[in-house]
Structure 1
Amino acid sequence: MADEAIATGRLSAGEQSATHELSRRRIGVPDIVFFVVAASSPLTVAAGGLPMSYGTTGVIGVPLIYLVLATVLAVFSVGYAAMSRHISNAGAFYSYIAQGLGRVGGVGASFVALVAYNAMQVGLYGLFGAAASGLLGAHFGLDVPWWVCSLVALVLIAILGYRRIDLNARVLAVLLICESLTVLAFDFAQVSNAPSGLSAEPFTWGALTTGAVGAGFCWVMASFMGFESGAIYSEECRDPKRTVSRATYIAVAVIGLFYAFTAWAMSMGTGVDNIVAESGEKATDLVFILGEQTLGSGFSTIANVFMVTAVFAALLSFHNAVARYFFALGREGVLPGKLGASHPSHGSPYVGSLTQSIFAAAVVLLFGVSGGDPTGTLFNWFTNLGALGVILLLVVTSVSVIGYFRRDGRGENGWSRVVAPVLSSAALAVILVLAVVNFQALLGTPDGSVLNWLIPGLVLLAGVIGIGYGVWIKTSNPRTYAQIGHGAPPAE
């Protein structure tokens, strides 16, 4: 009814604005940092990402890769932050690319973003279900199917997604602090009990080139997923011109330094010469085994509990990102207009949130009923698909910064407008190529597997379909086309 009233002009200007606006001035820099870091999930990286990085690549210099990538992403953030000072839109990448490279390209980017963020979020339900089911079985003797655990989490996330953004931020803050303290306790225990003593070797060039360094960069890049999502909350910030840029820089620094330290501490716990072999043999159990050896048997129980809450926090973070993409695209008429409705009391993108929850529930039920593997298939395939999509968006966004400031510098200096975007786009393009070439290392599939090209092909297909759809909007609906990427409903 509200949408019909807007279309016919029966609502006042203020009511129209409220219908298509998220809650204002609800969150600040710490809140966005919580959303961003929660998406990368420190405990998930420590328990899963790091052993896989060491074990599958043979690269001892994983800590150095974290510092290199943090530097690259910090350079990317220069141009990204410059655009955030002039564009405030929940569509983030979509709106940046639309205003920097053209509306058709923006629609193409929006389709890639929807595929990538939905894939990341849905894939995490597989990991959550497996972790929660294992915890209930090991400590309570309950045999609960993984997909039931995932659906319970899905309902809780749907409720939080329906509510105000500041409530979500508080929940994430508590969960993130708990898991971060757990990881830090593990780190300091390994450093304090290093069997071979402390060594700076993992930070050397020789350590970086000990194995499949390309695959190493792919694994580490996955740990940064979500760092770019600060702009998604720009409409809900207290001071969008400053909050997004500050939060992005802080998040990159925290993720890069924290995970580099954790990767180094883990290699100290096993000994530098043993980290690759130990990671390959013990895989995701390595953190719990090393933790029990240095902190006692209680560490494993606590870490397993916080592992579940850590994945829940990541799920909530990605859910909020997807809901806001649906909202931005619905508000501008690219997707059905009802997706662009915000809750009158909570100011949340509740229709987009519900849509994402329904999609996730359908995928989880499909995998559950068919007996699909929650980690080897649902988590592995979907999250790697999402990671590849986000890397592609990072490359295109860097180029869009140059396009956006080409005719009007808007008071930004040359470093922000040109130099940093050129450097970051080149570096990120190399990472994208490495990710595609080494994709089988991410999936753990054999050389001839169809998945090695099928999953990357889905990202490209989403972009091509989006571009085609953008061309169709341009020719068939000029009013909608005029608003693409500009954060307002199409003019009537």
Structure 2
Amino acid sequence: MADEALATGRPAAGHMTGTRELSRRRIGVPDIVFFVVAASSPLTVAAGGLPMSYATTGVLGVPVIYLILAVVLGTFSAGYAAMSRHISNAGAFYSYIAQGLGRVSGVGASFVALVAYNAMQVGLYGLFGFAASGLISSELGVDVPWWATSLVALVLIAFLGYRRIDLNAKVLAVLLVCESLTVLVFDISQVSSAPAGLSGEPFTWGALTTGAVGAGFCWVMASFMGFESGAIYSEECRDPRRTVSRATYIAVAVIGVFYAFTAWAMAMGTGVDKIIDAAGENGPDLVFVLGGRTLGPAFATLTQTFMVTALFAALLSFHNAVARYFFALGREGVLPKGLGLAHPRHGSPHLGSLTQTVIAALVVLGFGMSGGDPTNTLFNWFTNLGALGVILLLVVTSVSVLGFFRRRGRGENGWSRVVAPALSGAALAVVLVLAVVNFDALLGTPPDSVLNWLIPGLVLIAGVVGLAYGVWLRGSRPAVYAKIGHGADAAQDG
């Protein structure tokens, strides 16, 4: 059985009711990069994130913020990649923190991760439904409720989540190439036709220090969400010791440089002195307005179409991440053990995928039937909740890298073991504080709105509940507690 699994890259055929291992050796560096970059969604950032960054903060130096955060996250990736060379677990943050700071902390982190990634994935259904129904209405003249198009996407994503990981990677590759080329064509058209000429001012210190720079860092950080998800696929890649680290570095570089270039190109398309006002006046339509001016009216239709497919790709990427968290926690008995079964033929976390699908369906239907706003409420609230949770996990993971290598002292250099995680942890802690302080700017709410502390409070509550549950497991279920954070090896021992 073991030889068959090794040769085919999938669980042995005899495990007809499921296996505790995901399919092996299915994906490589490019595949993981597709998953990671698709989660951040270049076209969604260009159409939504960049105009909002300029408009709500008044910071001209948005391009340089992308480069600064790329350096910070690249530094974080040094310690993160070092951990990936010693730990291969679909639970990623959960496993890293459990082995670096202790099992109770790991369970607390797992609850934050489940809330954060589910919130990101479910929130995207609001924007997807809004964009898809708008496209159908404008092109076909048929009015379709946003939640109906979201449910169609949900069914397709459920099907793909049930299937092999390499099929998902192929779908993401096609969708990501289409949206990335669209953004690149837009960028080139803006640079080529810059009405006021080209300028390097958006990359200067003076541009960085104008406006609400703290809120600017928060908006830009949201564009990187998903960069850390490469480790989630470590059990399914061909060479975990190298694939995850390479994919993470590549993803951070691609996101940082590409989005900085797009932000700069957008400023060139309006003129440096007009980008703030143009973003405030046009909002997400700025890409369509500028692109229509330089590329013609057909560009708007093409971009709207690829906007829908880009959001689908982001939904699929986050769905796969959530399904694997459910799988990792079920396999070790932290959650019901049924979640820890992989499909006997596809090697997919099919029950974790089904669980995420049910959660998303209930939220989408709830918002749809109650007349909830798919963008300002479902998308805005949920994705900002998710982003805040991920930033918190990045900070804690930096500390866990220090703890892991302090106790084990395994062959990594001092930069990866100590310096990089310490520097990135401090920098990311500043970003976390800025995110909490400027949460009203992210939500678009008044400074005294209850949402400004209620939504961040949900992240804290998730962590506290997880910590309490971890303490309970330690005292009441010691066999389960002993396996926490140790993945397939612990499951086989049990």
Structure-2-length-normalised TM-score: 0.96
**Deviation per residue, 1:213-268 (Å, 9 max, x gap):** 00000000000000000000000000000000000000000000000000000000
Partner of 2:491: 489
Secondary structure in structure 2 of the residue aligned to 1:236: coil
CA distance in 1, matches of 2:336, 2:491: 11
**Deviation per residue, 1:29-72 (Å, 9 max, x gap):** 00000000000000000000000000000000000000000000
1:193-232 equivalent positions in 2, closer than 5 A? 193-232=193-232
Secondary structure in structure 1 of the residue aligned to 2:486: coil
Alignment RMSD: 1.3
Partner of 1:240: 240
CA distance in 2, matches of 1:415, 1:262: 32
CA distance in 1, matches of 2:14, 2:166: 23
Unmatched runs of 5 consecutive residues or more in structure 2: 1-11
Partner of 2:125: 125
Partner of 1:347: 347
Deviation at 1:17, TM superposition (A): 12
CA distance in 2, matches of 1:418, 1:372: 47
Secondary structure in structure 2 of the residue aligned to 1:273: coil
Partner of 1:109: 109
CA distance in 1, matches of 2:425, 2:16: 39
Deviation at 1:354, TM superposition (A): 0.2
Secondary structure in structure 2 of the residue aligned to 1:143: coil
Partners of 1:57 and 1:212 within 8 A in 2: yes
CA distance in 1, matches of 2:481, 2:390: 24
Deviation at 1:413, TM superposition (A): 0.7
Partner of 1:458: 458
1:312-331 equivalent positions in 2, closer than 5 A? 312-331=312-331
Report the residue type matching 2:229 in the other structure.
S
1:28-427 equivalent positions in 2, closer than 5 A? 28-427=28-427
CA distance in 1, matches of 2:411, 2:63: 37
**Deviation per residue, 1:159-189 (Å, 9 max, x gap):** 0000000000000000000000000000000
Secondary structure in structure 2 of the residue aligned to 1:25: coil
CA distance in 1, matches of 2:145, 2:25: 41
Partners of 2:25 and 2:238 within 8 A in 1: yes
Partner of 2:448: 448
Cα distance 1:80–1:17, how it changes in 2: closer, same or farther (>3 A)? farther
Partners of 1:27 and 1:166 within 8 A in 2: yes
Deviation at 1:445, TM superposition (A): 0.1
**Deviation per residue, 1:368-411 (Å, 9 max, x gap):** 00000000000000000000000000000000000000022210
Report the residue type matching 1:426 in the other structure.
A
Secondary structure in structure 2 of the residue aligned to 1:406: helix
Deviation at 1:15, TM superposition (A): 4.5
Report the residue type matching 2:248 in the other structure.
T
Partners of 1:333 and 1:490 within 8 A in 2: no
Number of equivalenced pairs: 481
Secondary structure in structure 1 of the residue aligned to 2:408: coil
Partner of 1:7: none
Partner of 1:3: none
**Deviation per residue, 1:126-179 (Å, 9 max, x gap):** 000000000000010010000000000000000000000000000000000000
Secondary structure in structure 2 of the residue aligned to 1:361: helix
Report the residue type matching 2:68 in the other structure.
V
Cα distance 1:120–1:50, how it changes in 2: closer, same or farther (>3 A)? same
Unmatched runs of 5 consecutive residues or more in structure 1: 1-11
CA distance in 1, matches of 2:305, 2:105: 43
**Deviation per residue, 1:251-287 (Å, 9 max, x gap):** 0000000000000000000000000000001000000
Deviation at 1:491, TM superposition (A): 4.9
Cα distance 1:15–1:152, how it changes in 2: closer, same or farther (>3 A)? closer
Structure-1-length-normalised TM-score: 0.97
Deviation at 1:489, TM superposition (A): 2.3
Deviation at 1:357, TM superposition (A): 0.1
Partner of 1:6: none
Partners of 1:332 and 1:490 within 8 A in 2: no
**Deviation per residue, 1:284-338 (Å, 9 max, x gap):** 0000000000000100000000000000000000000000000000000000000
Report the residue type matching 1:341 in the other structure.
L
Report the residue type matching 1:178 in the other structure.
C
Report the residue type matching 2:295 in the other structure.
L
CA distance in 1, matches of 2:56, 2:141: 33
CA distance in 1, matches of 2:242, 2:173: 21
CA distance in 2, matches of 1:363, 1:416: 41
Cα distance 1:457–1:490, how it changes in 2: closer, same or farther (>3 A)? farther
CA distance in 2, matches of 1:15, 1:147: 38
Q: Which runs of 4+ in 1 moved over 3 A?
A: 12-18
Partner of 1:9: none
Report the residue type matching 2:239 in the other structure.
D
